[in-house]
Every structure is written in C-alpha cells, then in structure tokens.
Structure 1
C-alpha cells in the first residue's frame, strides 16, 4: 500500500490543491443558489398539492382509498407549512438586517 502511495506524482497533488484553493463562491452565486433552492422547494410543494388533488379525484371515482387521500393531503399540508415557516424566517431575518444600525 505504501508503495502505491509513493507512485503518485507529488506535482499533480500540488497542482490540484492550487486549483481548488482559489475557488470561492461570490455573494451573487450564493444568493443564486439559495434562490434556486427556494424555487425548487416551492415547485415541490406545488407538485405535492397537485398530487393530493389528483388522489382526491381518484377517490371520488372509486380508484383510491381514503387512507391514500389522507396521506397525500397531509404531506401537501406539511410541505406548505414548512415552506410558510421558511418564508417567515427569511422575512424576519431580512427585517432584522434592515433594523441594524450602521
């Protein structure tokens, strides 16, 4: 095992360290990724709501059980509550930043 480690060229390790140490995320990139995260979360909540509605329609047609309808509805409701809480926390953080005296 030690022999295999000795066979790795040290130059390539130093080059890879130099390349990775210079990579830093800019504030715009961080903001964009957070915005993407929120967008994906909202799309997920929307998809769960549509799934709950589709399950309800299937139940009305006799193609789904009550338990399936309740599970889909509860999942959609919990997702919506979580999204609402995240939104509230983001708004609170923004308001706190705006109250900060410079």
Structure 2
C-alpha cells in the first residue's frame, strides 16, 4: 500500500522559545543541534524521493491513480527545490560575511 506523505522534512522547530538551558548552551552544542536538524531534514527529503519512486512503480503496475503519483512526485520535487534554495541562501550569506571588512 502507499505510504502517505508527511511534511517531516519541513517541520517547525520544536521548543523554539529560549530557556535557561538553551541560553547557557555552548556553541559546540548548538552546532551539534543544528547539524542534527539539517541531517533530519535531508533524511526526510531522501525519504520523500524514495516514496515518489515507489509510488511511480506502483502506478506502472496499475495499483495507484495518476493523481497520487503526481502528488508524490511534486512533493519530492518541491522539497528538493526548497533545499536547493536554502543551500544557495546559506552560501550567499557566507560569501557576504567573507566580503565584510573588519
């Protein structure tokens, strides 16, 4: 059967309020948390692409409607495009920081 898509790759950060624990956290700990968040997001995107391939294969076998196949494909495509745009903005911000004269 078809796995229903979820938007785990683009989920809001849980507990974004600043608490005394997050304020006293070290920069290395913050980098680990940010890295884990990015890793989870990329794994979610990869899962969406795998799901889109599975739905496409099921469509070819006649087990899935064309609309379900198109929805899964478009969700995977949009997630990949979002990731690419975020990457481009991060690189652009890094380049801007490097151009800043101190």
TM-score (norm 2): 0.74
Runs of 4+ in 1 over 4 A off after TM superposition: none
Indicate whether 1:61 and 2:48 are aligned.
no
Match of 1:75, SS state, is helix
Indicate whether 1:79 and 2:79 are aligned.
yes
CA radius of gyration, larger in: 1
Which residue is 2:89 aligned to?
89
For 1:21-32, list aligned pairs within 5 A: 24-32=24-32
CA offset at residue 27 of structure 1?
1.4
Distance 2:51 2:79 in 1: 12
Which residue is 1:3 aligned to?
none
Which residue is 1:48 aligned to?
48
CA RMSD of aligned residues (A): 1.4
Match of 2:71, SS state, is helix
How many residues were matched structurally?
82
Distance 1:61 1:86 in 2: 36
Distance 1:73 1:58 in 2: 13
Indicate whether 1:35 and 2:35 are aligned.
yes
CA offset at residue 92 of structure 1?
1.0
Distance 1:96 1:35 in 2: 22
Counting helix residues as a fraction of each chain, which structure ranks higher?
A: 1
